[in-house]
Structure 1
Amino acid sequence: MFDTAAALALLQYGDSAYPAGGFAFSWGVEGLAADGLLEGQGHLDLLVAEHLEARWNTMDRILLRRTFAAPDLAAAAAVDRYAEAATPSQQLRDGSHRAGRALLGVSVRQCGPLSTSYRALISADARLGHLPIVQALVYRDAGIGLAAAELLSGWTLVTGLVSAAVRLGTLGHIEAQQSLSSARAVLETLLASEPARDAEPSSFTPLIDIAVSRGPSRHVRMFAT
């Protein structure tokens, strides 16, 4: 049966207008475009697929699932510390912190109990608040189940990447819709298979990591990552 409440929650939290600060992050799109490595829809489709397959599915998704299953906030914080240790790029760590804490702040203002308690728990440690961990807690506060939370996490990454490309002038709005359709197929395939219960978070996106890490050395930039 069609779950209207779940669908409406997905529409709300997956909306690009949701005020969680996602518009400030390109996750490598800007850097790759500046270096001439991202030209048009074909390149963007490959980049989105790489993000989904080699980082989100093997890293962020695993962290989100662990946090979703965490019995308490201390266990969630342990996953957060793992995320910190498993992210070698300072720029990616900082971006994940900023995006996560922005999302957490919105949920706190909506009086989410887990979000409110978690912000108090991590307030003294700037290393915590990574995006996948916060997503799990915020979506639990919103009554969103694990399967929908995974879909939402992957889809907000996709829309953020495509939106960044449009804002940079790399492609137009019609091409952006075509890219979103391509990304839907990739994400659907990934979500059809659950990660192994003992899967360890990992990622291998060297070009993206380099593009993000070079951000502070660029004289002009639009995005934080």
Structure 2
Amino acid sequence: MTASLDSGLLVALQHADSQFPSGGFAFSQGLEASSQLAARLGACNFEDFLDVQLRHRWAGADRVALTRAYRLAGDLAKLTELDLEVEASTFVEGLRTGSRRNGAALLTTHSRIGTTGAAPYRALIGEGKALGHLAVVQGLLWRALGLEETTAVAMGGYQAAASLATAAVRLGLVGAIQSQAMLAKALPVIVEVSSTPVADDEPLRSFTPLAEIAVALHGSSGQRLFSN
């Protein structure tokens, strides 16, 4: 018997694909800064950097925000409150700016393709009533696409890891094949950290001090490839 295709899987593949225009290519989450400031902050090993980002930033902050946003089921008023919580919990301006810009880019694309909730939330951002942090926008949009919560979380984790792998290649820290090997090692980490339940009022937590210091110092540096 031939198994039938799951259309939800195809939707997830489309929206998690790096070719989907989300704007995230301009940000490295502090990887560029960490590699450039190795003499001051210590050696930057990409595999270790990726592991730390997933375990100590994405798992407790972005994953939680995405999950909570998903569960709000398109309630724009409560999404704006969560947006402000993400803003307040993100200490470094470069990371706040990157998250907002990524969210805005993703919303713009979804507004143009007609995803439910994208245009109204984008309008709230234009009015200064919402901020559009990426994880909040992901939760809003991926639920609107009919994806399951676990699928949305998996997409968020994969994109977080894959975008860093792409940045590492562009920065010349690793080769394309090596980056894929490291990305493969990161997938079980995403599964592991995602096994921790998220309460509807779960606080946002992250602890990546070296990367945050690097981003803060990076803000006053000269020419660079990424915005953070």
TM range (shorter): over 0.9
Measured against aligned partners, the alpha-carbon deviations of 1:15-40 in whole angstroms (never above 9, x if no partner) come to: 1111111111111110111123555x
**Separation in structure 2 between the aligned mates of residue 215 and residue 137 of structure 1, nearest angstrom:** 31
Unaligned runs of 5+ in 1: none
**Separation in structure 1 between the aligned mates of residue 6 and residue 43 of structure 2, nearest angstrom:** 38
**Deviation, structure 1 residue 127:** 6.3
**Separation in structure 2 between the aligned mates of residue 209 and residue 80 of structure 1, nearest angstrom:** 20
**Separation in structure 1 between the aligned mates of residue 223 and residue 4 of structure 2, nearest angstrom:** 47
* TM-score where L is the length of structure 2: 0.91
Q: Does 1:140 align with 2:143?
A: yes
Partner of 1:4: 6
Which deviates the most, 9-18 or 163-172? Answer: 9-18
**Are residues 126 and 175 of structure 1, via their aligned partners in 2, closer, same or farther at CA, if it must alter by over 3 Å?**
farther
2:32 paired residue among 23, 30, 45: 30
2:189 paired residue among 161, 186, 189: 186
Contact persistence 1:84–1:127 (CA under 8 A): no
Within a 5 Å distance, the mapping from 1:1-150 to structure 2 comes to 4-36=6-38, 37=42, 43-71=45-73, 72-125=75-128, 128-150=131-153
**Are residues 3 and 77 of structure 1, via their aligned partners in 2, closer, same or farther at CA, if it must alter by over 3 Å?**
farther
Contact persistence 2:104–2:132 (CA under 8 A): yes
Measured against aligned partners, the alpha-carbon deviations of 1:133-153 in whole angstroms (never above 9, x if no partner) come to: 001111122221211000001
Contact persistence 2:98–2:227 (CA under 8 A): yes
Residue type of the alignment partner of 2:221 = R
Measured against aligned partners, the alpha-carbon deviations of 1:135-181 in whole angstroms (never above 9, x if no partner) come to: 11111222212110000011101001010000011111111111111
* TM-score where L is the length of structure 1: 0.92
**Are residues 50 and 126 of structure 1, via their aligned partners in 2, closer, same or farther at CA, if it must alter by over 3 Å?**
farther
Which deviates the most, 116-125 or 30-39? Answer: 30-39
**Are residues 120 and 29 of structure 1, via their aligned partners in 2, closer, same or farther at CA, if it must alter by over 3 Å?**
same
Classify the secondary structure of the residue corresponding to 2:188: helix
**Separation in structure 1 between the aligned mates of residue 129 and residue 82 of structure 2, nearest angstrom:** 15
Runs of 4+ in 1 over 3 A off after TM superposition: none
